[in-house]
Amino acid sequence: MDPDLIDAYDYELPASRIATTPAERRDAARLMTLDRAAQAIGHRTIRDLPGLLRAGDLLVVNETRVLPARLQGSRTATGGKWEGLFLGTNHDGGWRIIGKTRGRLTAGETISISVPADRPSSPSDPAELTLRLAAQNSDGEWTAIADPAGDPVNLLEQFGSMPLPPYIHRDQPQAEDRDRYQTVFARTPGAVAAPTAGLHLTPELLETCARRGIDRASVTLHVGLGTFRPVTAARLSEHVMHSEWCELPAATVEAITRTRDRGGRVVAVGTTVVRTLESVAARGPLDAWQGETDLLIRPPYEFRVVDALLTNFHLPRSTLLALVYAFGGRELIRRGYAAAIAHDYRFYSYGDAMLIQ
C-alpha cells in the first residue's frame, strides 16, 4: 500500500487491550524486541533492557515534566459543569485553555474550579481558582485570566489533575496518576501528555544500565495537545503537523559525539526523543538548539542520529505509528503489532513497550 496513505497505518485493536491503569511496577511492563537485521521478534520484560543494550550505547531520555493540566469546574453564571485543559500562556500571561460544557460559552463569563479529588487540600492554599474568559480564537482556544494570579505551574499543582489521554475513561482522576503518569527523570514543566516510553524506566534500571557502561543523556520536548489529534487527511503529505517546543542541550550533543567515536549507538527512549534529535539534525550539523518543531517523520525517512528505539504501542492511523513504520520497516512493525495483539500485550500510554534495534 502507498505509505503516504493514512489507511496504510490502520489496524484493529480489541478494546480490552487498551491499558487504562499502569502496571503494578514500572519495570513490570512487557517488552517486545524487534531485530531489524534478522527480522526477528522476541518477548521479554523491561527489566531485561540493560542486557539487550550494549556497553558504549547512549540512552537519550525526554526530561519534560507533565503539568496537571486537566481542570474541572463549573460555570459561575449557570452552575453547569465545565472540563478543560491548560495549554500554556500567551505573551501577556493569559492562560490558553480549551474546554467543553453544555451550552455556549461567552466572553466575560467565569469558570470556578475547586481543588480536585486526587489532591489533598492545604489550609494555606486558596479554596478556589477562577478563570475569566477573555477571548476565543478560530480553533476554539480561549484566553483566560486567572484569579488568584500567580505562577501557572503552582496553580495547576493545586487545582489541576493529570491530563490522561482521552482513551482512558475515568470519571475522576486517581492519586496514583500524579506519580505514574510522570517519568522518574521529569524535570522541566511544560507537557500536557507524558513521553510514555520513559514511564517504564526506574532509578534501579538506569543504575544497572550505567554499571554496564550504558550512558544517559537528555533532551526536552513538551508534548502538546496535537499528540491526540487524529489525522483527518487521506494522505500524510496533506496533514498539518502540530508544533512542539524542544531543546537539545550542548551536553547531549557532546555525549552523542563521544558515543559515535567509540562505536556506540544512540538509543532514543520514545518518539519525542526521535523528533527532537532528528529535527535538529535536519537543520545541519548536530549542535545545541531550542525552538519549535513540526517535523513529520514518515516512510521513507533517512534517520541521521537515532540507531535504536524504545517505544510504546501507538494508536492506529497516527503520526506516531508512521514514525515507527519509518524506523522499523512496514512489514516488521505490522508483524510486531499482530504478535502483540495475539500475545495480549497492553497498548498505549500505560501499556507495554517494544525495542527496535
DSSP-derived letter for residue 125 is S
* pLDDT over 70 percentage in the chain: 96
Most confident of 121-125, 154-158, 175-179, 219-223: 219-223
Q: What is the mean pLDDT of the chain?
A: 93
* Phi, psi for 281 (deg, rounded to 5): -65, -30
Contacts of 122 (CB under 8 A, 6+ apart): none
Q: How far is CA 159 from CA 129, 137, 142, 304, 336, in A?
A: 7, 25, 18, 42, 41
* CATH architecture of residue range(s) 6-66+178-356: 3-Layer(aba) Sandwich (3.40)
Average pLDDT over every residue of 260-287: 97
Residues 256, 218: Cα–Cα separation, whole Å: 11
Q: 248 vs 93, which has greater pLDDT?
A: 248
Please report which confidence band the pLDDT of residue 288 belongs to, taking 50, 70 and 90 as the band edges: very high
For residue range 6-51, list pLDDT tens digits in order.
Answer: 999 999 999 999 999 999 999 999 999 999 999 999 999 999 999 9
Q: Would you state the pLDDT for residue 242?
A: 87
For residue range 56-65, list pLDDT tens digits in order.
Answer: 999 999 999 9
Please report which confidence band the pLDDT of residue 293 belongs to, taking 50, 70 and 90 as the band edges: very high
* pLDDT over 90 percentage in the chain: 83
Strand, coil or helix: 262 = coil
Please report which confidence band the pLDDT of residue 118 belongs to, taking 50, 70 and 90 as the band edges: low
Q: Would you state the pLDDT for residue 121?
A: 60
Please report which confidence band the pLDDT of residue 337 belongs to, taking 50, 70 and 90 as the band edges: very high
Q: Would you state the pLDDT for residue 115?
A: 82
| Closest to 351 measured CA to CA, from 49, 16, 22, 26 | 22
Residues 269, 132: Cα–Cα separation, whole Å: 39
Please report which confidence band the pLDDT of residue 175 belongs to, taking 50, 70 and 90 as the band edges: confident
Where in the chain are the domains? Answer: 6-66+178-356, 70-159
Q: Would you state the pLDDT for residue 56?
A: 98
Q: Is the predicted pLDDT of residue 204 greater than 70, yes or no?
A: yes
User: Residue type for 233, please?
Assistant: A
Q: 344 vs 125, which has greater pLDDT?
A: 344
For residue range 61-78, list pLDDT tens digits in order.
Answer: 999 999 999 999 999 989
For residue range 122-169, list pLDDT tens digits in order.
Answer: 666 677 899 999 999 877 899 999 999 889 999 999 999 999 988 887
Which long-range CB contacts under 8 A does 325-329 form with residues at least 24 apart?
Answer: 325/3, 325/8, 325/9, 325/298, 325/299, 326/297, 326/298, 326/299, 326/300, 326/301, 327/274, 327/297, 327/301, 327/303, 327/356, 328/34, 328/36, 328/356, 329/36
Q: Is the predicted pLDDT of residue 171 greater than 80, yes or no?
A: no
Q: Would you state the pLDDT for residue 120?
A: 62
Identical topology for domains 6-66+178-356 and 70-159: no
Q: 188 vs 167, which has greater pLDDT?
A: 188
Out of 3.90.550, 2.40.10, 2.160.20, 3.30.70, the CATH code matching 70-159 is 2.40.10
